[in-house]
Structures are given as C-alpha cells and as structure tokens.
Structure 1
Amino acid sequence: MNRIKELFEKKKNILSIYYTAGYPNLGDTVQIAEALEKSGADILEIGFPYSDPVADGPVIQASSKQSLDQGMTLKVLFEQLKDLRKNVTIPVLLMGYVNPVLQFGVENFCKACAEVGVDGCIVPDLPMVEYEEFYKDCFESHNLCNIFLITPQTAEERIHKIDSLTNGFIYLLSSSATTGKNLEVGNTTEDYFARIKGLNLKNPTMIGFGISDKQTFDKACEYANGAIIGTAFVKAIADGNLEESVEGFMKKFRG
C-alpha cells in the first residue's frame, strides 16, 4: 500500500510541510527532509522549482529562483533523492509545474519517482482531462498518487470527478490567492470548508494556503484531515542553522 494511504488510515491532524528543493543551499534537500521527519512532520512536499511559478507568492518564488540559480533541475533532484529512503520513512510528494515534467518526460519522471521512493505528486497546472486520458495509467503503474487541488470556486460536479480520480488526498485551497497569504477564517471560508466536508468525499482532504501557525493549523484540522504549511516554513529556514531552524519551527506545532 502507498505510504500516503497508510498514513491517513491511522492518523488525524496530519501536518504536511512544503519546502523548495535546493534551498537555501543546493545540497540541503535531504538534510531538511530528515530534520523534518525527526521533528514530527507527517508528510513532506518537496517543490521542484520552475521559472514561472504562477500559483506561488513572493517567498516561494524567491526560493525557487535561488534554487534554480544554484543549479537545481529535476535530474539533480532525483540524484539527491537516491538515498532518501535510508533515513526518511514518512510519505514524500514532489510538487511543481507541468512544464519541467513534460521536458523530463512523464514516463521518465514517474519511473524516477518510484526509484527514489516518492509517493505522489502535486502538479497544479496539469489539466484533469489530460491526466485522465494520457498519464493516469503511468502514475498508477508506479504507485504514485496524483494530488488534485480544489478552490472555493470549484464546482461540485468537478469536485466529485476529482474525488473519483484521486488515490491519495485532495488539496483544499483555503482561497484562490497565491501562496503566502494569511488564512482569514471568516463566515465565507468556514462555509466553504463545511460545504466540502459535507460532501462526504471518499478521499481525505488537506487544507493549504495561509496556514502559518498553531492557531490556523488547528482551525484547518476542524474541517479536514490536516493542513499544509509552505511559505512560513520556507521563511523559517532562510537563515541560520538548518537543524535548529527546522526544530524551532516544528516545536510550534509538535512541541
């Protein structure tokens, strides 16, 4: 069974942490993964940088540019991850945009993910129709979960279609903004979360965009199986000792 499915079967209030591969330094990718697991993260989302990250706010955009400038590519990333599973046991996702995946080759990408122990992918700009028609079999043959995103504007019919195609979890965006905006849980947002929860989807959900502290994490967990933190963590590791930065950040949630 895929590690993602196993995790959701046995745990609640799941904490997923996003960070950019090759940031702050090109060779930090696996060290951060190991430190996050040690400090209590449940899922890792390792971002592979792209030059035009349309869904990302300024913090993650800047981390992507720095990583690219230092030489990060998918080829380099897979080389870094070849020993990932020596010390990392929790689920690992790769997150990024479809262009680098197409350049690398979808079959090659899925094969490389499986070889290094990646459990799934989040590719926000991969159209659902194309995934279903061209890539679904390839992903599933390599035991990879493809994680779809929904927003407050996503139609119920599309949500059910996404649910039928999903074999991991559904990424529930708290808003249609870019990453890095603070979560503001007013009546409209709570109604949206409650509406999705009321659909009784077969797949678990994780809330992302704007989760930055214990308060917003706990609020998200009232409506979903857990939450995803990205920008706040990328900020936290920008300077200083990596192990200390990771441990200090995670204590806010797992202390």
Structure 2
Amino acid sequence: MSNIEQAFTHGKAFIPFLTAGDPDLETTAELIRAMAENGADLIEVGIPFSDPTAEGVVIQGADLRALSSGTTTDRVFDMISEVRKDVTIPLVFMTYANVVFSYGLERFAQRAAEVGANGVILPDVPFEEKEEFAPAFRAHGLDMISFIAPTSHDRVREIASHAEGFIYCISSLGVTGVRQKITTDIGAMMRLVREANPQIPCAVGFGIATPQQAVDMARYSDGAIVGSAIVKIVAEYGTQSVAPVSAYVAEMKAALNAAYGA
C-alpha cells in the first residue's frame, strides 16, 4: 500500500486543496499544518501557474496572487521541506505540464521526492500522454494521479486499471469551482472503477463546498476533495485565514465521520 492509499484507511478521506503562495508562503505553511491537525487525510498543494486551464476564476485568482507575491517552484519546494518536519499525512502537488517542463522533468521529480511529496497531479495531461511523465515520477517513488470525468465512461476502465495512488473523479463538466448542485451519476462511475481496479481509492472533486455535498459524494466514493471553497476563504481572510480554514476542515471531516464512521 502506498503512502497515498493509506490516507483512505481512516474512514472517508477529506482532501483539501490550497494554492501555495496565496497570500504568501508563510501562511501556506501554517495552513498546511492546521489542515493536517484538523482532520485532513491528504492535502493537494497547488504550484501556481500563469495559465491554469482547468481552474475557475477562484483558483485562477489565487495563482495570480501567488505569482505576484514572488512564489516560484523552488520556493514552494523549500516551504514543503520545512512543513515536512512536522506534517506526516500525504502531500500531493497539483500543477501543469509547462511548470514541470520548464523546471525539467527529472529535476522536478527528484526535488519533489526529496522534500517529501507523495504524488503529482497534472490536470492538463490526458491519460494517453501520462507515460511522458509517469516513469520519471515512479523512479522517485511519486504516484501520478489520474482523472476520470463524466464524459470518459468508455475510458474509465482503462484509466482505472493503470491508476496509481488514487483516482480523482471529476464530479462535473467544466472548470473547478463551487456548484449549487452536483448531478453527475457518481455511482455509475464508481462501479466502472471498482470493476477495473477494486483496490484503488477514488475521491470526488470539482464543486464540493458544503458538508452535505461531501457526504453525498462520499456515499459512492472513498472521499471528497475541496479546493475552491477553501481558496475563497483564503482570498477573504488572507494572512488571517488559518483559523477559519481550520474550522472549515474540521467541520467537513466531522460530517464525513458522522455519516460513515472514522
């Protein structure tokens, strides 16, 4: 069992996302520690990019703020290296292919592993192009997380059979962002995944914001991923966002535990 898969052994997993460097890297480090202390099972750390095509306006804004504050890939790595001194839960980088290419694939993989990351998510790399990146990540013990989407039913079995760490199930078409209602048949997608790869955990993201939405999505999956709702709190409170984000994470994990047990 990989480190990432262990995140799914404590009941339904709660997986928060935040953009590194928004509003600054010192606050990001505090947020990661606070989320881990308040029930996060795995944390996705976004390395900012100037053209984040999978993101809605909320996370686009966070990327721009982070880049404007001087955040670089090297500075994100240095911050994670410090955080790893007291945070033990799995950490996964989410960024874009251009960030990895410009840094150098082998160099990126080596440095990510050195600072204690457990995996990488590249939302603009389709499954068919995964092997351009995955071997370098695997060589350094990093899982490359795959997506399945509501339109990929014909490909879900193939993606699931080759999945590493966990599968990121996209709940809705379009870019990231809070949604009032999620109508995708998550149960049908999960059945396809289970048939192809019964062992791989699968977490649902895109649009989840409330405890009830997290509980609803976790009914069929192994956990819930929340990004935009957390990034909105950080945008509102800036350097004072640790307390409200901590309370939000605790509330979401408590809802999952209440519904399904720890």
Q: Same fold (TM over 0.5)?
A: yes
Q: In structure 2, how many angstroms separate the alpha carbons of the residues matched to 1:129 and 1:173?
A: 17
C-alpha displacement at 1:148, in angstroms? 1.1
Q: Which residue of 2 aligns with 1:119?
A: 118
Please tell me the root mean square deviation across aligned C-alpha atoms, in Å. 1.5
Q: Which residue of 2 aligns with 1:58?
A: 57
C-alpha displacement at 1:42, in angstroms? 0.7
Paired letter, 2:138: E
Paired letter, 2:26: G
C-alpha displacement at 1:11, in angstroms? 2.6
Q: Which residue of 2 aligns with 1:83?
A: 82
Asked whether the 8 Å contact 2:178–2:209 carries over to 1, the reply is: no
Q: In structure 2, how many angstroms separate the alpha carbons of the residues matched to 1:198 and 1:244?
A: 38
C-alpha displacement at 1:247, in angstroms? 2.0
Asked whether the 8 Å contact 1:2–1:143 carries over to 2, the reply is: no
Question: Mind listing any 5+ residue stretches in structure 1 that lack a counterpart?
Answer: none
Deviation string 1:68-93 (CA, Å, 9 cap, x unpaired) is 01111111111222222211010100
Deviation string 1:92-116 (CA, Å, 9 cap, x unpaired) is 0000111011000111111011101
Asked whether the 8 Å contact 2:150–2:189 carries over to 1, the reply is: no
Q: Which residue of 1 aligns with 2:231?
A: 234
What SS does the corresponding residue of 1:143 show, helix, strand or coil?
A: coil
Percent identical pairs in the alignment equals 35
The TM-score, its normalising length taken from structure 2, stands at 0.90
What SS does the corresponding residue of 1:51 show, helix, strand or coil?
A: coil
Paired letter, 2:32: A
How many equivalent residue pairs?
Answer: 248
Q: In structure 2, how many angstroms separate the alpha carbons of the residues matched to 1:127 and 1:153?
A: 13
Deviation string 1:138-166 (CA, Å, 9 cap, x unpaired) is 1111111111111110132x212211221
Q: 1:161-172 residue pairs with structure 2 within 5 A?
A: 161-172=158-169
Q: In structure 1, how many angstroms separate the alpha carbons of the residues matched to 2:216 and 2:16?
A: 17
Q: Which residue of 1 aligns with 2:260?
A: none
Indicate whether 1:212 and 2:205 are aligned. Answer: no
Deviation string 1:21-46 (CA, Å, 9 cap, x unpaired) is 00122332221110100111111000
Q: In structure 1, how many angstroms separate the alpha carbons of the residues matched to 2:29 and 2:88?
A: 12
Q: In structure 1, how many angstroms separate the alpha carbons of the residues matched to 2:133 and 2:206?
A: 27
Q: Which residue of 2 aligns with 1:7?
A: 7
Q: In structure 1, how many angstroms separate the alpha carbons of the residues matched to 2:3 and 2:144?
A: 13
The runs of 4+ residues in structure 1 deviating greater than 3 Å are none
Q: In structure 2, how many angstroms separate the alpha carbons of the residues matched to 1:176 and 1:105?
A: 31
Asked whether the 8 Å contact 1:183–1:209 carries over to 2, the reply is: no
Question: Mind listing any 5+ residue stretches in structure 2 that lack a counterpart?
Answer: 255-262
Q: Which residue of 2 aligns with 1:67?
A: 66
Q: Which residue of 1 aligns with 2:94?
A: 95
Paired letter, 2:102: Q
Asked whether the 8 Å contact 1:13–1:225 carries over to 2, the reply is: yes
What SS does the corresponding residue of 2:27 show, helix, strand or coil?
A: helix
Paired letter, 2:135: D
Paired letter, 2:209: S
C-alpha displacement at 1:183, in angstroms? 5.0
Indicate whether 1:136 and 2:134 are aligned. Answer: yes
C-alpha displacement at 1:236, in angstroms? 1.3
